[in-house]
Structure 1
Amino acid sequence: MIEWVSLSTGARPVPRPVATPLVWATAFGGALVLVALLNTTVGPDRPALALAALSLLAAVLGFCASFTAAPGTAVLCWLLLNGFAIPPAGTLSWIGHRDTFWLACLLTATLVGTALARLAHARAAYRTVTSATASEPNDEPYAGRF
């Protein structure tokens, strides 16, 4: 006798984060393209706009990455922000309060993106588990009597 069994019982696995080197390569390439685009369209004298755009990029990359990739992603975005989004282009500098704030913004954006991804995946897995267990018939004869 052939018995048909559903293959989609239980929870779906939570998606694995993208490998950290791939996230960092995407952060470097994406930040380079984004800074070049901003420099050609609005000019290099707009670091606040570049910081906002790079923070958005960091948050999107954080959504795909693990928590361990966050510091490297933030530093790579900061390097391109510091080196090419403020004049003189191609020169790295360190101004304590400004660069600390920029690094904190980029790191926070990356961590928020990663945390939101983990919450979204956990919620989806939880809803799958609860809907699967609520819709299954109760096969145990003594369930609910204790």
Structure 2
Amino acid sequence: MEWQWLSAGARAVPEPVATPLVWAGAFLGSAVLVAGLNQLGDLVEPVFYLVALSALAAGLGARARVVAAPGTAGLCWLFLNGFGAPPIGELTWSGPPDVLRMSCLLGAALIGTVISRLIGARSAYRRVSPP
């Protein structure tokens, strides 16, 4: 076994962004995204909103810790439910459709986080392993 110093050029895995910053990004990003989609016209199906907010949740999850995923999904769901799904302007719980929407948003945030961690770990392993 041969010891090597990590300060000899190897970089550590990137540090995730703080959870409150991720949640602030989810709040602002969801508001801007839903407002932008509302300007496109009367989108009858909330699927467009769900796909866009799931992409936002996955993107935010890529730089966040796993513990930020439920809050990110919850904030995205609030904007989806309040301004993207009928009745617009009211927070309601519709049962199975809302469970599906919340599951999609949570899954997207978790998938973004897991893929980012796997890529970071693999690249860190390649940097510190001997050639």
Q: CA deviation at 1:11?
A: 3.1
Structure 2 partner of 1:126: 125
- Percent identical across equivalent pairs? 57
Note the residue ranges of structure 1 that are not aligned, 5 or more in a row.
Answer: 1-6, 135-146
Q: CA deviation at 1:59?
A: 0.2
Tell me the distance in 2 between the aligned counterparts of 1:27 and 1:110.
Answer: 11
Tell me the distance in 2 between the aligned counterparts of 1:47 and 1:97.
Answer: 14
The alignment partner of 2:86 has SS state of coil
Q: Is the 8 A contact 1:59 1:112 kept in 2?
A: yes
Structure 2 partner of 1:89: 88
Counterpart of 2:46, as a letter, is P
Q: CA deviation at 1:12?
A: 1.0
Please give the per-residue CA displacement for 1:50-87, whole angstroms capped at 9, x wherever unaligned: 00000000000000100000000000000000000123
Tell me the distance in 1 between the aligned counterparts of 2:76 and 2:21.
Answer: 14
Aligned length: 127
TM-score after normalising by structure 2:
0.91
Pair 1:15 & 2:14 matched: yes
Structure 1 partner of 2:45: 46
Structure 2 partner of 1:111: 110
Please give the per-residue CA displacement for 1:7-63, whole angstroms capped at 9, x wherever unaligned: 952631111110000000000100010001111103242300000000000000000
Tell me the distance in 1 between the aligned counterparts of 2:43 and 2:71.
Answer: 24
Tell me the distance in 1 between the aligned counterparts of 2:121 and 2:104.
Answer: 26
TM-score after normalising by structure 1:
0.82
Note the residue ranges of structure 2 that are not aligned, 5 or more in a row.
Answer: 1-5
Structure 2 partner of 1:64: 63
